[in-house]
Amino acid sequence: MITKKIEIEGMTCGHCVMSVKKQLGAMTGVTVQEVSVGSATVNMDGPTVTDRDLQRAVEEAGYTVASIQ
C-alpha cells in the first residue's frame, strides 16, 4: 500500500473538504485516510493509480493541487 499526501489550494470550508473526499473516494484503488482544508492523505492499493489520476480527481472537485508527496 502506498500513502500519498496531497497539498491542495483553494479549499476554504467543510463543503470543500466533502467535495474532495467524495472525488478521491470514488476512485478505484484509493482509500481516503483524511481530508482537511488544504490537504488530503490517501492510501493507494498499488501502481494502478498515478499522481496524475489524483490530481485530476482534485481538479474535478474544483481545486488545484500544489504538490503530491
Strand-pairing partners, residue 30, are 44
pLDDT value of position 5: 98
Full-model pTM = 0.93
For 22-57, the DSSP string reads HHHHTSTTEEEEEEETTEEEEEESSTTS-HHHHHHH
Cell of 47: 501502481
Backbone phi, psi, residue 53, to 5°: -65, -40
Cell of 11: 479549499
CATH tag, 2-68: 3.30.70.100
* pLDDT digit string, tens, across residues 35-66: 999 999 999 987 789 999 999 999 999 999 99
